[in-house]
Structure 1
Amino acid sequence: MDNEKMGRPVEIVSISFSNRPLTEISAIVEQEAAKGCDLIVLPETWRGNDAEQIDSEAVLTMRALAKRYNTYIIHPMFRLIDENKQANSAILIDREGEIVCIYDKVYPFWNEFDLTPPVASGEEAPVYQTDFGTIGMAICFDANFPEVWKRLAQQGAELVLWPSAYSAGTSLQAHAINHQFYIVTSTLLSDCIVYDITGKEIHYSKKPGEINISRITLDLDRRIFHENFNIDKRDALLKDYAGRIEQDCLMEREQWFTLRCLDPDVSVQQLAQQYGLEELRAYKERSMNGIDRMRGFRFVSKTI
């Protein structure tokens, strides 16, 4: 069996570059989309510092390509809201060419407030339910602020796309570890990093001064668990579905493990629920809330 077809695979193309014209980038997007993929992501504000309308030539071009090739596209831009305000935005276009989600950078960099018009801070970190899974977006300087990433996790993000001007590296790795989602980057430095749900770096590529194209397939059905309260349930599931579900990673020091499916007719996520396995993110959230109730106050309120 072809393991890439197991689980819930999503094929992502990250295109990283800087200072390239729309004609060149649209041709590359078309080239990659024609090969077949689920999602294409471009770097932060790759069109430059001039704010554009939501119906600009670049947006309309990406919408047409998304519809023609049946793929999602993330198009970052400085988005003109009105004559007094713009946003540093990531626009999610669906397979029909429709704009279905807009993320406005919650933490703009200092000099973005000096632009004309100034950049307004985003107020939400939305997620979107695609046909392959729940995704979220964050942008560049957001890497430094845990609140954005926690909000994405609380809404069920399985995959976070991060367009940026720089690479961030282990700053992003920390969010993958803490929240157990995949992270895929596209940067103006022509590099791409992919972090696994375990926090492990599973892809890095860089082509300084060139256009770096990275094609990655991720299994969004793969799940991560803590050993606490889960071992007997895990063992029963693996026994009953021997050869169809496997434990593909055991992290002994963390006491975490991951499960993935080897059979296209089964789902780790569904079987975990059936066998009463609690996923790591849910276990941590339940533990925090339960301990807060027992001690009579929310510790998080003391950090604000």
Structure 2
Amino acid sequence: MVRLGNAIVSICRFNTGGQLVVCCLICGFGQNVYAQDTATGNSEAKAVYAASQTADRVSSVKSDVAESQSARQKKKGFVTIATIGASPLTVSADTEPQRVVEHVISYWRGLFARVLPDRPDLIVVPEACDRPRGLSSEKTNEYYSVRKDQVRDFFAQVARENRCYIVYSAKRAMGDGTWRNSSVLIDRKGNVAGIYNKNHPTIGEIDQRILCGKDAPVIECDFGRVAMAICFDLNFDKLRLKYVKAKPDLIVFSSMYHGGLMQQYWAYSCRCHFVGAIAGRDKPSQIRNPLGNVIASNTNYFDFAVATVNLDCELVHLDGNWNRLRAMKAKYGAKVKITDPGLLGSVLIASEHETIDIDTMIEEFELERLDDYMARSLAHRLKPGNMEP
């Protein structure tokens, strides 16, 4: 007997007075299937044929159930993220450029090995992840001229072999002789899914011919929509406000500096999860929820962190939603999470239901999203008679 969704499939084979009978009963789909060979004599061959027909029917039922379940899958849900906050590799000043490339690849192979057992969907690394310490400016440029795409191609190989996304953040040479400080998002097949060029390089970077990026792409991944920022970017509202408007599910931040309270502010103002990979174990590499709260962090002992987060979530204000939130919790129980950080007046609600997403729950209970409440408050302020003369 086999259970397939709501169906119970029973297959039996028995002899009765020299007569071989093979039957299959499918319950729960409003139909019964019965195959029987009433012949005597060479009934075994016919029974095998009947059994094969039964197997075909069972296979068809499995396919129908799988298709039905697949059709009900949510667009967003749980995703496992790994952030690696390792310090740059240090090499001897006289190391040949190709040997430096090989050392860098070996270094990152070891770092990836620490997080791959958790089977992450996304791995994030720090800014300039393949720029080693110990080389003069001249030697570093020689290294870059030899490196080309070798390290990026290694990252792509790891992504392909482990079916995960990886962010490769590094200095890139352009055809016109200029440079970009970029984060390259590599997909599960090892292909480039998108590239973000640092919009706000430091003055020192610009003087070294690293030009300012002008675009802020939001990249579609199979688990959600991803935006990126690099280091000094975190200080500028122009970029942040682009992401506020674009509404990504996750912001990836590769950096040399942490940013302090700006990380929390970006996560909350953009209403999305935020993952930072900061070079050096002394600066926390953290994963934050849309409230800005830290979900996971590296430590003084380990330079990486891995966490599974739920992207099927929304922020709502408590005003006007108290009773609706209680009703939603009463119906869905453990299938919906309500996270209150305290003091803020806003809470994070997340659906852990297999087929019902948070948007459907919000619509069902007529909850008002945080942004909608703020917009309504501003509009109400501007109504005649509501503002002082």
Deviation at 1:61, TM superposition (A): 0.8
Partner residue, 1:266: 356
Give 2:125's aligned amino acid: L
Q: Is 1:26 matched up with 2:109?
A: yes
Task: Choose 1 or 2 for highest CA Rg.
Answer: 2
How far apart are 1:86 and its partner, in Å?
Answer: 1.1
> Does the 8 Å CA contact 2:121/2:165 hold for their aligned counterparts?
yes
Q: Where does residue 278 of structure 2 map in the other structure?
A: 187
Instruction: Work out whether 1:166 is the aligned partner of 2:257.
Output: yes
Q: Which moved more, 1:148-157 or 1:138-147?
A: 148-157
Q: Does 1:69 align with 2:162?
A: yes
Gaps of at least 5 residues in structure 1 are 1-5, 296-304
1:120 aligns with 2:211: yes
- Aligned-partner SS, 1:175: helix
TM-score by length of 2: 0.66
Q: Structure 1 residues 140 and 263, CA, compared in 2 at 3 Å: closer, same or farther? A: same
Match of 2:310 in 1: 219
Q: What amino acid maps onto 2:171 in structure 1?
A: F
Higher relative contact order (CA 8 A, sep 6+): 1
Secondary structure of 1:111's match? helix
Aligned length: 284
Does 36-45 or 146-155 show the bigger shift? 146-155
Deviates more, 1:256-265 or 1:189-198: 256-265
Report the CA distance between 1:226 and its aligned residue: 1.0
- For the aligned residue pairs, the C-alpha RMSD in angstroms reads 2.8
2:132 matches 1:132: no
Match of 1:197 among 290, 293, 296: 290
C-alpha contact (below 8 Å) 1:221/1:260 kept by paired residues: yes
Contact persistence 2:200–2:212 (CA under 8 A): yes
Say if 1:70 and 1:285 are closer, same or farther in 2 by CA, change over 3 A. Answer: farther
Structure 2 distance, partners of 1:287, 1:81, is 48
**Comparing 164-173 with 272-281, which one deviates more in the overlay?**
272-281
Within 5 Å, give how 1:85-104 maps onto structure 2.
85-104=178-197
Deviation of 1:148 after TM superposition, in Å, equals: 1.4
Distance 1:81 1:293 in 2: 50
Q: Closer, same or farther in 2 for the Cα pair 1:31/1:206, shift >3 Å?
A: closer
Query: Hey, what does 1:40 align to over in structure 2?
Result: 123
Q: Deviations over 1:165-219 (max 9, x none)?
A: 1111212112223222221111122331222211223333244xx8712112211
In structure 2, relative to structure 1, the CA distance for the partners of 1:53 and 1:155 (3 Å cut) is farther
Is 2:244–2:269's contact at 8 Å kept on the other side of the alignment?
A: no
In structure 2, do the counterparts of structure 1 residues 243 and 113 end up closer, same or farther at CA, with 3 Å as the change threshold? closer
1:119 is displaced (CA, Å) by: 0.9
Q: Higher mean Cα deviation, 180-189 or 231-240?
A: 231-240
Q: Secondary structure at the match of 1:82?
A: coil
TM-aligned CA deviation for residue 92 of structure 1: 0.2
Unaligned 5+ residue runs, structure 2? 1-73, 90-103, 132-139, 385-389
One-letter amino acid of the counterpart of residue 223, structure 1? E
Q: Which moved more, 1:198-207 or 1:85-94?
A: 198-207
- The 3-state SS of whatever aligns with 1:64 is helix
Tell me if 1:239 matches 2:330: yes
Cα distance in 2, alignment partners of residues 147 and 214 from structure 1? 30
Q: Tell me the SS of whatever aligns to 1:241.
A: helix
For the pair 1:17 / 2:86, whether they are aligned, the reply is: yes
Distance in 2, Cα, partners of 1:18 & 1:242: 44
**Residue type of the alignment partner of 1:182:** H
- In structure 1, the partner of 2:21 is none
1:10–1:132: 8 Å Cα contact kept in structure 2?
yes
Q: 1:223 to 1:205 in 2, by over 3 A?
A: same
